[in-house]
Amino acid sequence: MHPFSIHEIIFPAFCIFLITFIITFSYTKSFFLSIFSSFFKFIIFFIYFVFYFDGTYNFLDDWVYYQEGIVLLQHHVTLFNLPQNWQFLLSIGGGQNVLYYLYNTYAFKLFGIGYYAPVALNVILTGFIAYIGTRLVEKEFKLKGDARILFFLFLLFYPDILAWSNVMNGKDILVLLLELILIASISYYLRGKIFRSLLIGIPIGFMLFFTRFYAIFLISLALLLANLWGSLTLRKVFFLIFSFFIVFFIFHVLGIDAILLSYHDLLQKFVNPLYGFFRFLLTPIPFHAEQSYAFLNLPSLFHWLMIPFLILGIIYIYHVKTPFSRFFLSYFFIFVILYSVYGELQGPRHRVQLDYCLAVFQFYGFMWVLRSLHYPNRPISLDSKLEYT
């Protein structure tokens, strides 16, 4: 494999620049930050695919997505003729996780046939992740003032997201975005805006089901657990009953056979939870990764350095004590528990879908420490807002 020509890369790189600029300016209202952010995204993508791409950081799944995406393109499979081609799509995907194959097909339609095309689309998605994710913490965790802009930039350039989105044609960035939107819909649900929650959550839930099917079940389980947390009120009883219906519906869609098959698969690949917990959260060790994961050396170093702030951030969010904060923690720990006991899913790729949670915990933990250092003689309340103006 060899790098691509400037002629092939310039259009997707320009789209990355333009969309990143629009998203950043719409949130920050800063021309300088928008130019800087969009140029940074542009230059990383451009330099990697024009000068450095050689297949070193590619795996098996990404090439399967790429090749089967071309097959779907050649057979003219689109969202508009999906019912007629559904069985063909299932045969291509070897199961229900088929959405990312179509994602590749549409990337080829937009940017041309090349490994860079779905990667460019993933880079663009990171802008939406930063925008939606920051709006969510504004609403739920009372982020105010300049801290809003700092978190937006922190999420936009979060090292792990930056690395995975720019290097590999993997579905993990899409999964992260879909889970984030679903979390935002649950925020509406917990605030009593049921119709708006369902309007967003149902289509996104179906998309997530056909991308990483078990994620929708785990998120529903987290919602149920969050409603069981703490003393019962009439409002909570209503949400609890409604959550039971959601979990029952997910069980019905998955089918008892698929659930039992997944359960037996989990038992066969069960590992020591303590070992699995640390392996899942700490893989890879900085500068000790195998060659194909070497692009994670700097992101993993950042991840390790931020672990103390991660722990502090979890404590901070726990003391927020709102229905959403309980759901947010339940969501994070349910995924961590599953991956801690399931040996096959303990690589760093599966941690990408939790990068939003990790970024929130790290940012709040770091800001909590920063406030404590800035006001050494004044105790910092866990209930105080993170505000810098």
What's the Rg (C-alpha) of the chain? 21
Cα angle at 207 between 204 and 212, to 5 degrees? 115
Residue 96 CB neighbours (<10 A): 16
Give the pLDDT score at 384.
Answer: 47
- How far is 374 from 363, CA to CA, in rounded Å? 16
Domain definitions of the chain by residue range: 115-388
Tokens of 139: 């609403």
Q: How confident is the model at residue 159 (pLDDT cuts 50, 70, 90)?
A: very high
Measured CA to CA, the distance from residue 140 to residue 145 in angstroms comes to 15
Q: Is the predicted pLDDT of residue 388 greater than 50, yes or no?
A: no
Q: Angle 301-304-309 (CA atoms, 0-180°, nearest 5)? A: 130
Residue 232's pLDDT is what? 64
Block residue for tokens 């040996």: 343
**Confidence grade of residue 262 (pLDDT, cut at 50, 70, 90):** low
Looking at residue 93, its pLDDT comes to: 80
User: Residue 211 above 70 pLDDT?
Assistant: yes
> What is the DSSP code (8-state) at residue 270?
B
**DSSP string computed for 272-315:** -HHHHHHHHHHPSPTT-S-GGGGGGHHHHHHHHHTHHHHHHHHH
pLDDT tens-digit readout, 61-113: 899 999 999 999 999 999 889 889 999 998 888 777 899 999 999 999 999 99
218 or 44, which is more confident? 44
Indicate the pTM of the whole model: 0.91
Distances (CA, A) of 146 to 21, 102, 203, 317, 368: 19, 39, 34, 20, 15
What are the pLDDT digits (tens) for 317-336? 999 989 899 999 999 999 99
Q: Please tell me the predicted confidence (pLDDT) of residue 226.
A: 83
Could you tell me whether strands 387-388 and 144-145 are parallel, antiparallel, or unpaired per DSSP bridges? parallel
pLDDT for residue 149 is more than 70: yes
The stretch 106-135 carries a mean pLDDT of: 97
Q: How many CB atoms lie within 10 A of CB 102?
A: 23
The string of DSSP letters for 75-102 reads: TT--GGGHHHHHHHHHHHHTSS--HHHH
Would you say residue 381 has pLDDT above 80?
no
Q: Does position 379 have pLDDT exceeding 50, yes or no?
A: no
- In this model, does residue 264 exceed pLDDT 80? no
- Percent share of the chain, pLDDT over 90: 59
Q: How far apart are CA 36 and CA 41, in angstroms?
A: 9
Query: Residue 260: is its pLDDT beyond 90?
Result: no
Measured in Å, how far apart are the chain's first and last C-alpha atoms? 50
Contact between 104 and 94 (Cβ < 8 Å): no
Q: What is the DSSP letter of 388?
A: E
Is the pLDDT reported for residue 377 higher than 60?
no
Angle among Cα 151, 152, 158 to the nearest 5 degrees reads: 80
**Residue 218, both tokens:** 């785990």
pLDDT at 9 exceeding the cut of 90: yes
HSE on the CB side for 276, CA within 13 Å? 18
